[in-house]
Amino acid sequence: MQVYLRPIALCDSPQAEEGEAIRLAGGLTYASRFALILREGGKVVARRRFGLGEAEAVLAGAPAEARAQWAALQAPRPALVCGERVIRLDQPQVMGILNLTPDSFSDGGRFSADGDVALAHAAAMLEAGAAMIDIGGESTRPGAPPVWEGDEIARVVPVIERLARTGAAISVDTRRVAVMEEALAVGAHLWNDVAALRHDPRGAQWAARAGVPVVLMHAPGQGDDLHDAGIYRDVVLDVFDWLKSRRDAAEAAGIARGRILLDPGIGFGKSLQENLALMNALPLFHALGCALLVGASRKRMIGALSHEAAADQRLGGSLMLAHKMMEAGVQVIRVHDVPETVQALRVWRGLRDQALTDFAQVVD
């Protein structure tokens, strides 16, 4: 039987619920009501809603997995150590995207031909407030052809080496151990693996030995097409189970939970409705006990909801989805439009700080 502990009511501060709220993952999001869901054979067989005052009684009679998830919902996530940079995860952080592919869906490959242009763009994102830069040399859009690892290395490693000299925190968006080995050698810090350590059989053991933090992203496809075979009984619970299995496999290989980030894979082998369901359910994934990284910037779902707006005309939708991530307590928000997202994040943080210091006085 599968167990899920989903926060279903969020609030701005614990005092808004007179103390009857928990802090999710040590961040700035609080939850006051929850649903304990039990599933068997792919079918939900029980669902019980409860508030914080009822939690002890409800969890006492629940499977041990429910109590483990309850603890995971509240456990602070350790900071990411990226060389001399320490990125705290007690509030949302922005990851800037630098695509070095000639067929990028979002920017048409304008950063792939000239390393100076790519570095200038990375510097601008860092100056605007990005905590780290995610560099990729292979397109993962639907229908994109696979890239030979030698070409991928040639695209990303020179830029990583030059950017590392600035002291930037660098993530590498790749499926291949060979690419990550070369990237780590010249100054990269984090492995963002869209195949969740499934593409290369050496991946998990190599990451454990290297001590590199890894992002495990959900994608239904097994081979070169990560978008293939996206069939779900319940996309939210199915993705939760899949990420749990990949987390467990990574831990079994020796990767500490504090070095694992999980990504529900918005846009990978999922319909519009399924992507929206995952966005609405983001707080559930804190029950897996790992930091969350989510990327929905400029994705197809925004175009589908806005008269087929082109990728470079999806800023408003991207900011709306980023705000949804902030509200859900997502630790790392992966975006193309860094200045606008950082500005939105700073305003959100101001609102949250005010809510945390505000209180209502009872007047006799």
CB 315 within 8 A of CB 335: no
Q: Does 334 participate in catalysis according to the annotation? A: yes
Whether 256 contacts 304, CB under 8 Å = no
Q: Which of 77, 244, 300, 334 is catalytic?
A: 334
Q: Are strands 260-263 and 214-217 parallel, antiparallel or unpaired?
A: parallel
Closest among 86, 104, 77, 82 to 23, alpha carbons compared: 77
Q: Pick the catalytic residue from 299, 300, 314, 352.
A: 299
324 is catalytic: no
Distance from C-alpha of 37 to C-alpha of 58, rounded to nearest angstrom? 12
Which positions ≥6 away from 131 have C-beta within 8 Å? Answer: 87, 93, 94, 95, 169, 332
The number of beta carbons lying within 10 Å of the beta carbon of residue 237 is 19
| Beta strand extents in the chain (DSSP E only) | 2-11, 22-23, 30-40, 43-51, 80-82, 85-87, 93-99, 132-136, 170-173, 190-193, 214-217, 260-263, 291-295, 332-335
- Annotated catalytic residues are 299, 334
